[in-house]
Amino acid sequence: MKIFSLKREWILWITIISPVILYLFLIHQLPALIPVHYNAAGKPDNFASPIKFLTNIVPENIVLYLVFLALPKIDPKKNNYFFFTRAYFFIRFAVHLFLSALACISLLAATGWKLNIPRLITLGVMILFSILGNYMINIKPNWFVGIRTPWTLSNPLVWKKTHSLGGRMMFILGITGFVLILILPPAASPAIVLIAAGILVVFAFLYSYILYRKLEREEFNK
């Protein structure tokens, strides 16, 4: 299977340009300025014209798309990408969809839709967590994608076990965080995201290090 196939890439292209398509539909309903940033209280504290907003986020998504295209070509472990082609595509799709969705809900909110943007952003992050975690188990050793600690990069077995357990943990954290954001006050949403990310980072470092040292001792005692 090819790493990149035109039969699938068009899905990403449409996803990336979807905010532009929505903008063209809403162009006569949009105000001169729309919120582009929110403070800790969930109130907008920065504004920009819709076109300026799009010329920031859409090019960023395009650059990210090009980076994703380049990674398998420049990675010293490039051949491993052939073994997680499907997972790599869905990881890319999830990231592009997340960014485009942020742009689209901002445009819709600017036309009068009653949307809690900060809460939707944090909910989106938790969904992204779950999607990435679901495919994490399929990622083979490489230098750019996945849980990359000194110990996962040094030992294929540490990589495999860390991604197997870490992927499940990431999925559970995403689902749990999503539910908590729905039931707890909006002010708690950013903290939930940070705690989930913190748990994952601490786990990745501690688990991969402990497992690496364990395997080292077993090898030494043979």
Query: Tell me: the pLDDT tens digits for 17-75?
Result: 999 999 999 988 988 888 877 776 667 778 888 888 888 889 999 999 999 999 999 99
| 138 closest CA partner among 173, 87, 79, 75 | 87
Cα separation of 4 and 9, whole Å? Answer: 7
Per-residue pLDDT band for 222 (boundaries 50, 70, 90) equals low
Contacts of 111 (CB under 8 A, 6+ apart): 26, 29, 30
- pLDDT per residue as tens digits for the range 115-159: 888 899 999 999 999 999 999 999 999 999 999 999 999 999 999
- Per DSSP, what are the bridge partners of residue 46? 37
E strands present in the chain: 34-38, 44-48
**Contact at 8 Å (CB) between 128 and 188?**
no
Instruction: Report pLDDT for 220.
Output: 74
- pLDDT per residue as tens digits for the range 174-206: 999 999 999 999 889 999 999 999 999 999 999
Instruction: Report pLDDT for 42.
Output: 67
Instruction: Report pLDDT for 1.
Output: 56
Per-residue pLDDT band for 2 (boundaries 50, 70, 90) equals low
Q: Would you say the C-alpha torsion 81, 8, 60, 138 has a positive or negative sign?
A: negative
User: Token pair for residue 135?
Assistant: 């495919």
Cα separation of 191 and 169, whole Å? Answer: 18
Q: Could you tell me the residue ranges of all domains in the chain? A: 1-115, 116-222
Instruction: Report pLDDT for 40.
Output: 65
- Residue 11 in this model has a pLDDT that exceeds 80: yes
Cα separation of 151 and 136, whole Å? Answer: 17
Beta-strand pair 34-38/44-48:
antiparallel
